[in-house]
Amino acid sequence: GENVEQHPSTLSVQEGDSAVIKCTYSDSASNYFPWYKQELGKRPQLIIDIRSNVGEKKDQRIAVTLNKTAKHFSLHITETQPEDSAVYFCAAKDDYKLSFGAGTTVTVRA
């Protein structure tokens, strides 16, 4: 089955700086790569996603890049704000189901 690895596990950034989270996947058949944000005690919320036929996607301060050859994808958050503090999960989809990374706890320091 699919195996998704996510790094780093924790990330502390100064407000206004950028944050980058990286994920690798094992199954070349995976074709959809979402990123979820989860605040404490809440459900995961989709923040951005990318399909395998696209190399990069941007939505305001967040962007995702995908390198199919290397089987890795990354989340970039620019101009970080305190409300960006949360746990972020990457995932890869093959056929019917998602496989998730272990998560990155992002802390934005004021």
What are the residues binding another protein (CB under 8 A)?
1, 6, 9, 32, 34, 42-46, 49, 51, 89, 93, 96-103
Residue 77 or 93 having the CB closest to another protein: 93
Contact 15, 80 (CB under 8 A): yes
Residue 78 or 107 having the CB closest to another protein: 107
CB of 47 to another protein, least distance (A): 11
CB of 44 to another protein, least distance (A): 5
Tokens of 97: 């189901």
As a whole number of angstroms, the distance between CA 99 and CA 91 comes to 5
Contact 48, 34 (CB under 8 A): yes
Residue 9 or 67 having the CB closest to another protein: 9
Give ∠ CA 105-108-110 in degrees, rounded to 5.
155
Terminal Cα distance for the chain, rounded: 41
CB of 6 to another protein, least distance (A): 8
Residue 29 or 46 having the CB closest to another protein: 46
CB of 110 to another protein, least distance (A): 26
Tokens of 105: 């706890």
